[in-house]
Amino acid sequence: DTEVTQTPKHLVMGMTNKKSLKCEQHMGHRAMYWYKQKAKKPPELMFVYSYEKLSINESVPSRFSPECPNSSLLNLHLHALQPEDSALYLCASSRIVGETQYFGPGTRLLVL
């Protein structure tokens, strides 16, 4: 089973709202990733967690706050977003960093 689940599937939020995206995997993977994907573009890496510790932050604005409460769960907390943050947010996991990444279905975010 190579399933990564993400909730919610769709999210609409105002610029003053606080919301969270959730990602879960039960494959025993110890690396988890957040990507942002705009229309007609490849995914852009945002964050990498390795063994529940943040190992890479690709200069992402502080209005995006990742959290890895345990080895199966990855959250992305959103606050004071801008309309240009509207995108598909993808979560992925791999056994360890550098190995094959398996992606979730994504959360489609619209910021009004």
Partner 1 sequence: AQSVTQPDIHITVSEGASLELRCNYSYGATPYLFWYVQSPGQGLQLLLKYFSGDTLVQGIKGFEAEFKRSQSSFNLRKPSVHWSDAAEYFCAAASGGGSQGNLIFGKGTKLSVKP
Question: Letter for the amino acid at 23?
Answer: C
**Cα 23 from Cα 15, distance rounded (Å):** 22
Q: Which stretch binds partner 1 (CB under 8 A): 13-21, 59-67, 73-81, 90-98?
A: 90-98
| Residue 98 is a binding residue for partner 1 (CB under 8 A) | yes
- Which of positions 40-79 make contact with partner 1 (CB under 8 A)? 40-43, 45, 48, 55-56
Q: Taking the CA atoms of 58, 59, 62 and 64 in sequence, report the sign of the dihedral they define.
A: negative
| Residue 105 is a binding residue for partner 1 (CB under 8 A) | yes
Q: Which residue has the tokens 């995914």?
A: 43
> Which H/E stretch holds residue 90?
strand 87-94
Using CB under 8 A, list all residues that contact partner 1: 2, 4, 6, 40-43, 45, 48, 55-56, 88, 90, 92, 96-106, 108
